[in-house]
Structure 1
Amino acid sequence: MTKDEIQSDIDMAEIYRKQALEDGQAETAEMYAGDIREMQARQKEAPDAYTPVSDYGANMIYTGMADGEKYSLWVSANDDDSTSRGISIMFSQAGDQEKNELSRVDDSVYVETVPESSAGADVAELKNKCTMTENAAESEAMVFLSKLGLSGLASQSCEPVIRRWQNSTFDTVDMEKNGYAIEFGCQIGGIDVIYKDLTAVDNLNTEKGYVMQEGDKMTVFIDDDGVFYARARLCTDTNSYVRKKADLLNWDEMMSAADESIAEYYRRYPTAYSEVEFNNVELLYVPEVDSAGDMQYVPAWVFTQTEGGDVLDAGMANGHISQVVYINALDGKYIDIAETAKALGTWSGYEAGKTISK
């Protein structure tokens, strides 16, 4: 961090310290005072400015300016094959934006921005101050993805954004609706790549380990001033695919093959449920390890039983998956979810000293 960036953090901590004193929280105020002293010590050794970069790599934080405001971009990846694949991305404000937002609301010491569905308050009646339409916001977000060099992602949902200000006791003192949160997922040929949380499936969560949730998801926050926050976890490089033409089984053929394949799957992976049942099925691309040990994505019918959700909600967002089977849409055979997870590094084993089973 530069001297100016550390000074911004010092100024913010000073706001928190003064607010704590006003609230009679002497210990909290002293904690912030200690933080300020530590930052002032670091500030003496900090550079005045960053060195411009020409070669970008992972596991670094980069800062830059856009329309007069400072932002940071962090990309994290792991080259160790014994751990989970994929990269993580975070783009966020890194200048005086938070300080400027706090100055708008008296007694506020913290401001956060969340999707409307996560606001935890009755915010439906608030008018969105953002003048963009949802379609325009999605288009702007796609331009942002393109600038990051990301492809193969498609918008899956768009909802308003709620900004809320809180005081030192984390009570909300004000809030507004301003902007959109757009969620993107990976697609192949217009079909979604699977992104499911299978941690509650009993035959995939045993004494030996469990299948971790993994996949491709990116959320972009945008308002009239542009993208101000984005986070992503990406595992699928659609540009690297070698595409092959293939014929899918028709529905009757698939169901006929699935009867035997599902029975075979549960013989290998027994369930504690007395009855195997599903309340949803959808066509998705899923990862599979072929006979040569190579990973490929194949179209599959994903049968799921979701508990605690609304069956009229296509996403079953409020429930959890209790039973699941993947049936290859090309040949009707089941796909071994656990073995695929081990090959991908998304199986977490319970053996002593071992976090990933390969």
Structure 2
Amino acid sequence: MIRILKYVVALLMLSALLFGTALGALYWWFQQPKVTMQEADMFAPVLFEVPRGTHARRLTEMLAEQGYIDHPTLNFWAARLFLDAHQIRAGVYAIHPADSPRSIWERISAGQQHQFQITFIEGSEFRQWREQLSNQTYLTSVLDDLSDAEIMQRVAPDSDWEHPEGLFFPDTYRFTAGTTDLQLLRQAYQRMQRTLDELWPQRHDNLPISSPYQTLILASIVEKETGAAHERGLVASVFVNRLHTGMRLQSDPTIIYGLGDNYRGVIYRSDINQYTPYNTYRINGLPPTPIAMPGYDAIRATLQPDESDYFYFVSSNDGQHVFSRTLEEHNRAVYKYQRNR
């Protein structure tokens, strides 16, 4: 009897040892990537979509079908044993070549979805924003069929804005699959409001602009006039000096914006002579709305312009400008850099 009991104990111990060894082997396998780190450098991450309602066993089947894991049954049981396999979050996930089955499961269980991004550049127009938004595969569109005014009602329902130009902050925005275009625009709108809240109180005294919205109008012109960061304060000073003395702004980008689809790639004399609400060769003061989305630096330069006695500037054909105090100086610069090139 004692001998039989010893055999049973030995058998149980052996079984426990084998089970522990198997469990350890399964745990080790669950944490091994399919490729080495050196091999992983040769491949880019791929996107994997987990639909709503996916359960653990179906997830392992999908991962195996697409080649991201081996042995789906073992994978399923490893996830059940070592992780919370019931916590499956729908979304789009990035799977990296060096991922182990465990790291894939952990990412999906935690809902760590892939972050997409979209970049709106400074000086871009709202029509370009709409086009960019509509071309994003993983962004859900709820605004495509709406007019600009209807979009502004959705973005800022408590405001009276109807024209969206200039009201959104240009930057890179990150989002996960399923985010709506409305959500992104609300982020950009709120970001612009925070920027104005920050910079408007820091404005110089005696500026010829009376509201944050007028700041956006003038800043959008500054943004379109120069891409050279060190020039923004000077360009702003030219327009401020002109507004103070009652001179017209005479900004070419405002003509282009006013022409819209009728712009032919070059500004002709007939375009300068044509009246639009945005043609600052024909109107006094500021146009009715911004002509683009100004960035932070253009807004700051508009509210804190350099001190200068310049009233004119002309492109020097190298991305920068020559500034002049008098019309005579300006005409000489125009002849040198524009008519004589």
TM over 0.5: no
Greater helix share, 1 or 2?
2
Normalising by the residue count of structure 2, what TM-score does the alignment of the two structures yield?
Answer: 0.25
Normalising by the residue count of structure 1, what TM-score does the alignment of the two structures yield?
Answer: 0.24
Instruction: Determine which structure has more spread, i.e. the larger CA radius of gyration.
Output: 2
